[in-house]
Structure 1
Amino acid sequence: MVVSKWVLNKINERNPEGKPMKGIYIISLMVAVLCLCFAATFLHMDPNLAAFMIGLALPREGRATRFLINNLHFFLNYVILPLYLVYVSLSVRHSELRTNPNIDYVINMPLRWHKLLIAVTIGTVGKIFGTVAVGLFFGMKWLDAIALGQLLSIKGYYHIFCANEAWKHFMINDTTFVAMLCMIMITSATAPLVAYGMAAWKRRKERSQLMSLQFHRSGTELQIMVGLQGPQNLPIALTLVEAIGWTKEPGKVTLYAIDMIELTERAAATLVRGEGAEAVEVADTEVMDVRYQIGEALEAFQKENKDGVNVKRLQAISSLDDMDRDICMCAKDVMAVLILIPFHKCQRMDGLMDTGHDGFQLVNQKVLQHASCSVGIIIDRGFGHMNQASLSLVGKNVVVVFIGGGDDREALTLAAEMSQHPAIKLTVVRFLPAIETHVNTTMQSSTFHHLKQSFTSDAEIQMQLDDEFFADFYRMHITNKGVEYMEKHVTDAEELVMELHALESQYELFVVGKGRDRKSVLTDGLEAWTEYPELGHVGDIIASSEFSTTASVLVIQQYDARKHYDVIDDEFRPF
């Protein structure tokens, strides 16, 4: 175990993530495993026990171990196991054929149904009962323990071996042996149904909560997905994740870094089988270099945070027309609460934004439309630095622009999580309509008051939700002077833009809501000047180069509950 761990660690160091594994190491690993198995046979050891011990001696983690498991699993499932099953089936002694002249083939042998029922009962109920008992003893929930028992009961490889060994030693007769083989077939055939049922049950359970930060249950694991076009997207993304997960318990924050790889003709020509059972990888040199740089940065981030944030890697290899589907499906599979994706434009050396990639702009717009959780678009102007080991080394001034609506509430929730980090100094600026503007609006709407006195408008519902949410936020974060708070009373959109310009030089990061459900006189007329609709009216203003060349922007869109509940009227929503 000591030698194998040391050797495989050396192989992992020389074959980092993102680089194809060298052939000499692949051949050496396979030859070493085969030599160990043959050596055990020559020493007259039991080959099954020898294989089991060799498996225990290999370390569980690492790229070399994953390579061995994935490739051997594929070979065993599709080559060895079918041949072994045929061998076992043809090994029947045919005693029934000799004693019963009415039977011509093994398939015509009489099947003792009571034996089959007993075998299925012992093999299924016994495993489930044992797993549930042990799971409850160690504090698992009984539903999770039953699900684990179901997964254990559908594996039939060991059953075949045990049935064959029992038959060889005359412990069972031919009919019992055939009954056990039928039991193995039945339990193995139910594997897809059991897996599908468990996945559907798990999804229904998770869908009971809205996949957004505002409605995330405290104490449960927080999953965040970060889309990466290249290493340049990592500094600000890792900085945000570090700040969000600062107060979480170790292991309660998981970062899923997904590489957004465009499937061009050149990349398609270099597709190769990956290390997973169904994964593919791009062997193109440029793509591998980018993935290698990302892998090094993520590994350094993992070491810096130790057990604070779990880092896992994903990849979306597809055309830009379909990349949003891969991102949204991955986010749904890992049950992410927030997706952070980079803006399609990057800042140039002169501080202005480049022309960008229209394809990635379309990807961002589609992700906002189809994602099953909240989404944030990052416009980076130097909020994070690659040579910065930790956010704790420097201070950051962050401001939240709060006007109203679900997106602004989600932005304020995210900023509240970040404010717990000692290096983050958070300021909340709430923009409210001036008194004369509010009076004029009230007088204009009173003419139609008699037409809508029987129901409440969506704008009034949002205002009520804003007031309730802000009251809780004020009590939890502002009262104890942990967060600074300012109120700005403006009359129209022009005044709003002027006040935003006054804040530009004071903060390094603006956190704003996209404002889909926002209906305010403060933003009337801004839609005519909006260049990037995926950023919303206020986000588009702050993201423009005319506004700032130093302040980064994070635009948040909260998960739309109407997509989740598919209701006709907002009055039937749960809040």
Structure 2
Amino acid sequence: MDPNQTLFSVVTLMPQEDPSLDRIQVYNVCIQQPLKLISDGLWAHENLIPSKSSYTMLEMQILVIFFITQSFHFLLKRLGFPYLASQVLAGFLLGPSIPTGPLEAYKKMLFPFGSPDILNTISSFGYTFYLFLNSVQMDFNLITKTGKKAWVIALLNMFTPIILAGGVFVQSFNPLWTSTLGQKEADDLSVITISQSGCSFAVIACMLNELGVINSELGRLALSTAFINDLTGGMMAGLGTAFVTSVSQGYLMVARNLFLFFVYLTMIPLVGHPVMKWMVRSTPEGRPVRRIYIVAIVFVLFILSHIAKYFNQPFMSGAVILGLTVPPGPPLGSELVDRMELISTWFLSPLFVTCCAMKIDLTICGPPKFVLAVAFIIAITHVIRQAQIVAICQYCKIPARDGFCLALILSCKGIVDICSYILLFDGTQQSPTVVAVMVISVLVLGTTSRVGVKSLYDPSRKYAGYQKRNIMNLKKNSELRVVACVHKPSHMIHIKNFLQVCSPTLDNPLVVDVLHLMELIGRSSPIFIAHRLQQKTQSTPNYSGELIVIFDLFERDHAGSATANTYTAISPVSLLHEDVCNLALDKMASIIILPFHVRWTEKGLIESEDNKIRSLNHKVLERAPCSIGILVNHSSSSQNSVSYKVAMVFLGGPDDREALALAKRFASNLDNKLFVYRFVSHEHDSTNWENMIDNEELREVRGAFGKVENVTYEEKSIDDASQTTELLRDVANSKFDFIIVGRRNGVKSEMTAGLENWTEYTELGVIGDLLASPDMETKASILVVQQQQTKVLTAS
């Protein structure tokens, strides 16, 4: 391949007459018409010159960029570097920043004159869509829900570094900077503090999602702060761009561009939001948005990007404003994200970052004094930002470690920042040296922020069992606090049946917090709604209408003895367990009830199996701040009974004792019948400490304190695991409504020896797994209980 054979037949560099325009190079080119788009292929007899075929060169460039990027990422991800670092390093390698010796000729062949422009143009579409989709996922209503803490942190985080770093370290020492560096270089320092004082909501949300802390308390505060900071910075950037690019043409042009910018900023939401609301209303519930609506929105996006240039705004400003106008979440927001995310976020945007990095030449970074000055201003700006965030967090009684993690999060830089710096470079608003140092700072800040937060912040540490939050340690006749989780409508009736069997009375009160768990789609910010508060404010769409009605009726039917609060949590599937554990911690719950992930038909066949629910159950079992019960239902029918027949299978251990404590509360209603089956090994040692505790807990149901009319106690001697299976089969066939067992987490005995190898669902334990097996042919609901874990568990 001849590097001189390109899309243009003659390329000549013209002499520059104006020395002040040293960065602008003028070429004289001749274009051969018609342009050749596609190569004749490997078997062509003539004109086999791929570099003269624009589409062929584009394919080769994309393949090489992705190969180099993935190679870098394969090595760097093990050291904690983000994917962005690999994209930038690929740009440095393919550009002039990293000399490659004998391979330089191949770089010129791969990127001949004219071909990078095509790659830049196509990838810039991807970046436009990337900004649009990230704006779609923002919830503009978040600005009205954000507390004073986030507003104070965001505004001070924006303006304090500009005032201190820009005013004190730059303007106050301007004569020193001018004499040391020169007038032009000293003027460049003023812009650096402004560019470093902001943060991008898209970058922060992506980082928090990667680290798995987006719906933690710290993550929610960081998102709210970043949202306000990003909006403020965007407004300042728009106004600054309109002023700086027009001031040379007179103040009349400045006033014109500012006026048009305000019209642009206000008319898009005023016109677009009602139209998109109409699109949502015209879409039947549960159905996807019509394709014509998606095409229309994309068409308007391109038109708005084109209009922005008439008042000197960047092409992506229309994408951001239009994206904020789209109602987040389903059906419209989620449909846009589903259709465009792959091509924009994972394909074209990485290409755009690499193309941006290819424009930087680190080999001509300018005088070392200027490089050090730029690095110093960037460093001092971030030191001021982080110090003030930590100070504000200390004043707000936020732990010092969490405050430092928040400072690291808000200092994170990413793709949006790199592309903003390159746009300044393209517009000759910043020198190559300043842009090169700022791009390097993005890599340093992006990496250190992720590594620092990952090593310092563990949201699961607050779930450590320092307090006894289980049913065994409740005082007699004290209220039972339950957190019940619902994923699907079919779960509601089974949860209600469980609450019925709890038999709430004035002497045995029940407080239940029902949490509807939904997957976060088409938005960045997780949502947590308390529907009892929502009914007063009416500020949030009603996501769980049927749930609210069912449990309001339950509370009305048990007036004075039961309280039912309903909530909706919308988060990424991998992080929903944080919402469950947070609610249980805040409400001081004694037990969390989780639905099992398998649903059976009336004939005992598996109807559906949701591994996302199973993964959530495992995470809650590991981290929960209280006891947990997994509710297994073989039947989809509603019981609605006033009395229940309940069996309790007791083998011994903490989990079985917790299950027994719950069974005793069931038996407090004399209409319920409780049957306690204790399985005892022939080698049972009654002097063993665990066995002594078991005997003490069983004294009441054994009749040691007097005959209990509605409780039947039976003791079964077991020789081996096969007898355990047979006795469980007898229990399963006895037509109980509920069967309660302990998970027996970490407990092994002769009665279950060997059965562990056949356990299919480890979260149910050996006994629970046997009872849930279709071979048992039981219609009873099975509740598997695990007592609160008192040791600190690290997050996976």
Range of TM-score over shorter length: 0.5 to 0.7
Q: Of the candidates 561, 578, 598, which is equivalent to residue 345 of structure 1? A: 598
Q: How far, CA to CA, are the matches of 1:209 and 1:541 in structure 2?
A: 33
Q: 1:532 maps to which residue? A: 761
Is 1:259 matched with 2:529? no
CA contact (8 A) 1:213 1:338 kept: yes
**Residues 114-513 of structure 1: matches in 2 within 5 Å?**
192-193=396-397, 209-249=467-507, 252-265=509-522, 288=543, 291-382=544-635, 385=638, 388=640, 391-392=641-642, 395-434=643-682, 460-475=688-703, 479-506=707-734, 507-513=736-742
Kindly state the Cα deviation for residue 299 of structure 1 after the two structures are TM-superposed.
1.5
Q: How far, CA to CA, are the matches of 1:248 and 1:540 in structure 2?
A: 36
Q: 1:7 maps to which residue? A: none
CA contact (8 A) 1:273 1:280 kept: no
Distance change >3 Å, CA 382–CA 422, structure 1 → 2:
farther
Q: How far, CA to CA, are the matches of 1:195 and 1:427 in structure 2?
A: 49
Kindly state the Cα deviation for residue 305 of structure 1 after the two structures are TM-superposed.
1.1
Q: How far, CA to CA, are the matches of 1:274 and 1:546 in structure 2?
A: 41
Kindly state the Cα deviation for residue 407 of structure 1 after the two structures are TM-superposed.
0.4
Q: How far, CA to CA, are the matches of 2:792 and 2:513 in structure 1?
A: 24
Q: Which secondary structure state, in structure 2, belongs to the residue aligned with residue 555 of structure 1?
A: strand
Distance change >3 Å, CA 320–CA 474, structure 1 → 2:
same
CA contact (8 A) 1:244 1:418 kept: yes
Kindly state the Cα deviation for residue 466 of structure 1 after the two structures are TM-superposed.
1.1
Once superposed, what is the RMSD of the aligned Cα atoms? Answer: 4.2
Q: Which secondary structure state, in structure 2, belongs to the residue aligned with residue 294 of structure 1?
A: helix
Residues 401-437 of structure 1: CA deviation (Å, up to 9, x unaligned): 0001000001111011001123321100000113xx5
Q: Of the candidates 502, 505, 523, which is equivalent to residue 752 of structure 2? A: 523
Distance change >3 Å, CA 235–CA 272, structure 1 → 2:
closer
CA contact (8 A) 1:342 1:379 kept: yes
Q: How far, CA to CA, are the matches of 1:227 and 1:218 in structure 2?
A: 26
Distance change >3 Å, CA 195–CA 527, structure 1 → 2:
closer
Distance change >3 Å, CA 311–CA 273, structure 1 → 2:
closer
Structure 1 runs (4+) greater than 6 angstroms displaced: 70-79, 188-191, 267-277, 279-283
Amino-acid identity (%): 25
Q: Which secondary structure state, in structure 1, belongs to the residue aligned with residue 614 of structure 2?
A: helix
Q: How far, CA to CA, are the matches of 1:547 and 1:474 in structure 2?
A: 28
Distance change >3 Å, CA 281–CA 492, structure 1 → 2:
farther
Q: 1:33 maps to which residue? A: none
Kindly state the Cα deviation for residue 480 of structure 1 after the two structures are TM-superposed.
2.8
Distance change >3 Å, CA 422–CA 381, structure 1 → 2:
farther
Residues 355-407 of structure 1: CA deviation (Å, up to 9, x unaligned): 41111101001101100100000011348727x3xx42xx3211000001000
Q: Which secondary structure state, in structure 2, belongs to the residue aligned with residue 322 of structure 1?
A: helix
CA contact (8 A) 2:530 2:567 kept: no
Q: How far, CA to CA, are the matches of 2:538 and 2:761 in structure 1?
A: 34
Q: 1:107 maps to which residue? A: none
Kindly state the Cα deviation for residue 236 of structure 1 after the two structures are TM-superposed.
2.5
Distance change >3 Å, CA 383–CA 213, structure 1 → 2:
farther
Kindly state the Cα deviation for residue 472 of structure 1 after the two structures are TM-superposed.
4.2
Which residue identity is paired with 1:420? S
CA contact (8 A) 1:258 1:315 kept: yes
CA contact (8 A) 2:503 2:668 kept: no
Q: How far, CA to CA, are the matches of 1:486 and 1:262 in structure 2?
A: 45
Which residue identity is paired with 2:751? L
Gaps of 5+ in 1: 1-69, 80-187, 197-202, 443-455, 567-575
Q: How far, CA to CA, are the matches of 2:668 and 2:708 in structure 1?
A: 12
Q: 2:160 maps to which residue? A: none
Gaps of 5+ in 2: 1-141, 152-391, 401-460
Q: How far, CA to CA, are the matches of 2:587 and 2:147 in structure 1?
A: 28
Kindly state the Cα deviation for residue 307 of structure 1 after the two structures are TM-superposed.
2.0
Query: How many residues were matched structurally?
Result: 351
Kindly state the Cα deviation for residue 347 of structure 1 after the two structures are TM-superposed.
1.9
Q: How far, CA to CA, are the matches of 2:728 and 2:741 in structure 1?
A: 12
Which residue identity is paired with 1:255? V
CA contact (8 A) 1:339 1:374 kept: yes
Q: How far, CA to CA, are the matches of 2:740 and 2:499 in structure 1?
A: 14
Which residue identity is paired with 1:537? V
Q: How far, CA to CA, are the matches of 2:761 and 2:393 in structure 1?
A: 51
Q: How far, CA to CA, are the matches of 2:524 and 2:539 in structure 1?
A: 10
Distance change >3 Å, CA 191–CA 407, structure 1 → 2:
same
CA contact (8 A) 1:257 1:313 kept: yes
Q: How far, CA to CA, are the matches of 1:553 and 1:301 in structure 2?
A: 22
Which residue identity is paired with 2:628? V
Residues 221-253 of structure 1: CA deviation (Å, up to 9, x unaligned): 431100001221122222222332524448x42
Residues 324-380 of structure 1: CA deviation (Å, up to 9, x unaligned): 111111111111110001000112243323341111101001101100100000011
Q: How far, CA to CA, are the matches of 1:527 and 1:272 in structure 2?
A: 39
